[in-house]
Amino acid sequence: MAGDPVLLVEKSDGIATVTLNRPTAMNALSRELRQAIAETFEALEADPETRAVILTGAGKAFCAGLDLKELGSGASTVNGTVTDKDPVTSIGHFSGPVIGAINGVAITGGFELALACDVLICSANARFADTHARVGILPGWGLSQKLSRAIGIYRAKELSLTGNFLSAEQAAEWGLINRVVAPEDLLPVCRKLAEDMLSVVPDCLPAYKKLIDEGFAQSFGEAIRTERRFSSERNGKVEAGAIEARREAIRQRGQQQKN
């Protein structure tokens, strides 16, 4: 409805659920929504109580990408629109885990928004498509590089050079997403996953995410050196007594997950 906020945020027990809220426009990324995403993730990063985020969409779509109606009616170039309030960079500035709850289609810019998340859980209704080439533009939020690293260059070229849709089941088979769940289970599964992440040693969570992300962007040899640097800086501060105190909790958790 007109006047409704384009982005909804609910916070509970260290987890923020952020919902793109333009369901009648398939949650297309208007300038207003891109601005809201940027401001929201900046605020969440500044909030010490928020340690994990679940990102999803209202209605039947996750996100249909840039608002082509708005884009087509603007006087500025496409490049100016794409680089203004880049939501992928905004999400990347959040130091905790971001779980993508992909409830429906994630198309082009929406696909890039999904790839900005750390973990992807999909509803059986989810589908992905990269239609940049069909619109006549090139991606500027990382899709051309992230997708090939996630599923291999040949599969990435198949998707990006055709604009064809990829089902949730095929995305799981190709290793693009973590798993597929029933639509009614999507948010509960994501919530449980976020709770599991928040149960680790608190300051280790953002540190480990940063280590993985920095290494992923480097060559293998450089990434190994990065790991050793991170490891040396942190592990030298961990006392044996702290490890012993956590050992029994780890053992009990292993038993619970075994049963």
Q: Residue 246: how many CA atoms within 13 Å on its side-chain side?
A: 10
State which H helix or E strand residue 80 sits in: helix 78-83
pLDDT of residue 82: 53
Q: Residue 91: how many CA atoms within 13 Å on its side-chain side?
A: 26
d(CA 2, CA 25): 12
pLDDT of residue 67: 86
pLDDT of residue 253: 76
pLDDT in 10s for each residue of the chain, 259 residues = 557 999 999 999 999 999 999 999 999 999 999 999 999 999 999 999 999 999 999 999 999 999 877 766 654 555 555 556 689 999 999 999 999 999 999 999 999 999 999 999 999 999 999 999 999 999 999 999 999 999 999 999 999 999 999 999 999 999 999 999 999 999 999 999 999 999 999 999 999 999 999 999 999 999 999 999 999 998 888 877 777 777 777 777 777 777 5
pLDDT of residue 259: 59
pLDDT of residue 36: 96
Contacts of 129 (CB under 8 A, 6+ apart): 105, 106, 107, 108, 111, 159, 163, 164, 165, 166
* Domains within the chain, CATH numbers bracketed: 7-198 (3.90.226.10), 204-258 (no CATH)
pLDDT of residue 75: 47
